[in-house]
Amino acid sequence: MELMYQSTRSKGKEVTASQAILKGLADDGGLFVPVSIPKLDVSLDAISKMSYQETAYEVMKLFFTDFTEEELKNCIERAYDSKFDTKEIAPLVEKSGAYYLELFHGATIAFKDMALSILPHLLTTSAKKNNIKNQIVILTATSGDTGKAALAGFADVEGTSIIVFYPKNGVSKIQERQMVTQKGANTSVVGITGNFDDAQSGVKAMFNNKELAKVMDEHGYQFSSANSINIGRLVPQVVYYVYSYTRLLASGAVKEGEPVNFVVPTGNFGNILAAFYAKNMGIPVGKLICASNENKVLFDFFETGVYDRNRDFILTSSPSMDILISSNLERLIFKIAGEDADATAAMMKALATDGKYTITPEMKEQMKDFIGGWASEEETAKEIKRVYDETGYVMDTHTAVASAVYHAYKEKTSDNTKTVIASTASPYKFGTSVMGAIDDKYKGMDDFALIDELCKTSGVAIPNAVEEIRKAPVLHDTVCETEDMQKTVEKILGL
Ligand SMILES: *Cc1c(COP(=O)(O)O)cnc(C)c1O
C-alpha cells in the first residue's frame, strides 16, 4: 500500500513520497509528514545481521513506497559507498560508560553527510518518476556546514547543478576552504559581501520570483532545495538509529526488547526527530535526550511548554547548534497536537508574528519521552577534557554538548539504561576549540595549525577530507554584492 504525505498545516491533498521530496515544503508553508509512521516489518534480530546499506533499505522502503526496489537500492548504493572512510558507515564506539554513534565518516566529516549523500539520488529519481525533464538547480544559503555537505552530495550527479552562497567573512577558515576547493562541473560557490541572513533572504527571494521561474523553465531549469526540512533528509537519518540499536543487539550489549536512551546534540531538531521516528517504528527507546548549547530555546520549551525565540543569539563553539528556530520541531508539534493541522498552523503563525507559542498541558503530556538538557561553553570544554583524560577519546564540541548533558543527567537520575550519544562531527572540524579544551597552550591557534597536533593527541588518522583541502587548489573565487545574487545565478546558468 502507498504511504502518503500530508502537510502539518492543512488537511489539503496528500502527495506521494517522491512528490514530497521534489516539493520540499508544502504549498501552505507546512512540512510534509507521513500520514502514519510505518512499523518495521522484519525482526530486529534479522536487522542485526544486516549491513548499513541493507538496514537503510529496510527502513526507507517503508517510507518511500512509490520507489521500486531497484530504484531505492540504487540510491542507497550510490550514497553509502567509499565516500565514507569506514565500511560500517556509522560505527558505534564505547567510551566512558556510553556508546558514541559516529556520524562523521562521510565526505565532509559531519553528520549532514548521512542524509545529503543520498538526497541527490532520491531527488533525481523522484524527478524521473514524475516526468520532470528540467535540470534541477539546487540553490542553498549556508553558514558553513550544510553548504559543503550539499556540494559534496550533488557534485557530478547527472540532472542536477548546485549553487551555494555563503557570507564571505562569516564562515570558519576550514569551512571556506572546504567549499572553494569543491570539484564537480555542476558546482558553483559564491561568497557574498553580506551576512548569513542576507544570503538566506536572497535565496528565498529567488525561490519566490515567478518571473525568474518562467525564464528558468524556458531554459530547461527549475529550482529545488536541499533544506533540512525535506522529508528526503529526515528519513535517511532514521536508519542510523535502527542500525545502532541492532548493533547493540548483535554484540549482546542489549537483549531483544531492552530499551536504550539516545542523546542528540540539537539545532534544527531534525536529528532527534529521526530518533523519535525510529522509536515509533518499533525500536525500544527509553529517553530521547535533547541537548542544547547556550542557545537553549528547546531546553526551556521542554521545561515550560513555551517556545520563545525572543532572546539574544549567542555565538558558541558548537555553531551548527546556534539556532533559535528549530524548524523540524513543527513535525513533533503536529504529532502531539493529535495531528491537528489547524492547531499546528496557529502555533506556527504565533511563532512568526510574536516569536513564541505555548502548547497545551495535554500536548506536554505527550512529550514525556523527551528530556531537555543544555551545557554552557565551560561545561562543554570540560567534558572534552574529562573524556580525553579518562579514555584518550577526542570528541568535537557538538558531541561534547550531548556528552556533558548525558553525564549530568546520569549523575542526577542514576538512570543506568544503555545510552547512545549521536556524535555529529569529527574533532578535526573544530580543532581550535577541541585542542583549546584539552590544553591551554593551544588556545588561539587556528584550525589548520592544529591538524597535526590533533592527530598526535587523538591517535586518529587525519581524515581524507582534511588532508585534501590542505593541498587542493581553489576552484571557486566568485564574490558578489548581496543585491547581485540573482544576476550571478543568471550568469552561471546562462539565462
Ligand atoms: C546540523 C548539526 C547539528 C544539529 O542537528 P539538527 O538536525 O539541526 O538538530 C549538530 N551537530 C552538527 C555537527 C551539525 O552539523
d(CA 1, ligand 1 centre) in Å: 33
Pairing relationship of beta strands 92-95 and 98-102 according to DSSP bridges: antiparallel
- Asked if the structure places residue 96 within a domain, the reply is yes
112 assigned to active site: yes
**CB neighbours of residue 156 within 10 Å:** 11
Q: Which three cell numbers stand for residue 235?
A: 528519513
- CA–CA distance from 352 to each of 15, 112, 206, 393, 410 (Å)? 26, 26, 21, 42, 36
Q: Locate cell 542510523: which residue?
A: 240
Across the range 27-54, mean pLDDT stands at 96
Q: For a pLDDT cut of 90, what percent of the chain falls above it?
A: 85
410-450 per-position pLDDT tens digit = 999 999 999 999 999 999 989 999 999 999 999 888 888 89
Average pLDDT, the chain: 95
- Asked if the structure places residue 145 within a domain, the reply is no
- CA–CA distance from 259 to each of 130, 167, 248, 287, 418 (Å)? 41, 44, 11, 9, 8
- Asked if the structure places residue 52 within a domain, the reply is no
- Asked if the structure places residue 12 within a domain, the reply is no
| 135: helix, strand or coil | strand
Residue 143 has pLDDT above 90, yes or no: no
Classify residue 37 as left (phi > 0), alpha (psi -120 to 50) or beta.
beta
What local confidence, expressed as pLDDT, does residue 130 receive? 96
Percent helix, strand, coil in the chain, to 5, is 45, 15, 35
**Helix and strand counts by DSSP (H, E) for the chain:** 22, 15
64-103 per-position pLDDT tens digit = 999 999 999 999 999 999 999 999 999 999 999 999 999 9
What local confidence, expressed as pLDDT, does residue 11 receive? 86
Asked if residue 134 lies in contact with residue 484, where contact means CB atoms within 8 angstroms, the answer is: no
- Asked if the structure places residue 288 within a domain, the reply is yes
Pocket probe for ligand 1: among 231, 268, 396, the residue whose CB has the most ligand atoms within 8 Å is 268
- Asked if the structure places residue 378 within a domain, the reply is yes
360-404 per-position pLDDT tens digit = 999 999 999 999 999 999 999 999 999 999 999 999 999 999 999
d(CA 323, ligand 1 centre) in Å: 10
196-234 per-position pLDDT tens digit = 878 888 998 898 899 999 999 999 999 988 888 899 999
Q: Locate cell 518495521: which residue?
A: 40
DSSP-assigned beta bridge partners for residue 248: none
Across the range 270-289, mean pLDDT stands at 98
- Distance CA(316)–CA(376), nearest Å, equals 9
Q: How much is the pTM?
A: 0.95
Q: Which domain holds residue 435?
A: 92-109+232-460
Count of domains observed in the chain? 1
Pocket probe for ligand 1: among 145, 228, 321, 403, the residue whose CB has the most ligand atoms within 8 Å is 321
CATH number at residue 251: 3.40.50.1100
Q: Which three cell numbers stand for residue 33?
A: 509528514
